[in-house]
């Protein structure tokens, strides 16, 4: 049993070295078969895909935060127009009101898209499971 554990550890270390060489672009054909290189290349692609998914998820989260901030700003501007901080003749309110609601409407639709993307990415990452760990 000890001999098997030792062989397993050695094999794991060799695989780790081969994988690091593959990532670095070193040709490993003298020490392994093409099938092993193919598996390592696939592992590298999956790792790259997982990393890309995480990067996209971070971008989506940042977009969510920024869209919430802009939405709060638009709502604040709208309340300022209604509460009398605008010129008393109402010209600013008439001019800006439509634009504010247009921006707010667009933001809300973008938030739905962002939320949908985030859910799909999280689901994809869960589906990948151990591959992305």
List, in order, residues 6 or more apart from 55 with CB less than 8 Å away.
none
Q: How far is CA 58 from CA 54, 63, 117, in A?
A: 6, 9, 11
- Record the pTM: 0.42
Residue 81 lies in a domain: yes
Residue 85 lies in a domain: yes
Residue 17 lies in a domain: no
pLDDT for 27 beyond 80: no
pLDDT digits over 5-22, tens only? 434 444 554 555 455 545
How many domains are contained in the chain? Answer: 1
Residue 46 lies in a domain: no
């Amino acid at each position: 049993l000890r001999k098997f554990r030792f062989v397993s550890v050695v094999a794991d270390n060799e695989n780790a070295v081969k994988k690091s060489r593959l990532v670095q672009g070193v040709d490993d054909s003298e020490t392994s078969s093409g099938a092993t290189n193919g598996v390592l290349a696939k592992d590298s692609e999956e790792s790259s895909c997982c990393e890309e998914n995480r990067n996209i998820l971070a971008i989506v989260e940042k977009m969510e935060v920024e869209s919430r901030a802009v939405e709060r700003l638009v709502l604040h501007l709208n309340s300022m127009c209604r509460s009398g901080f605008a010129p008393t003749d109402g010209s600013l309110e008439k001019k800006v009101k439509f634009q504010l609601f247009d921006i707010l409407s667009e933001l809300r639709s973008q938030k739905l898209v962002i939320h949908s993307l985030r859910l799909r990415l999280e689901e994809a990452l869960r589906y990948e499971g151990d591959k992305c760990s």
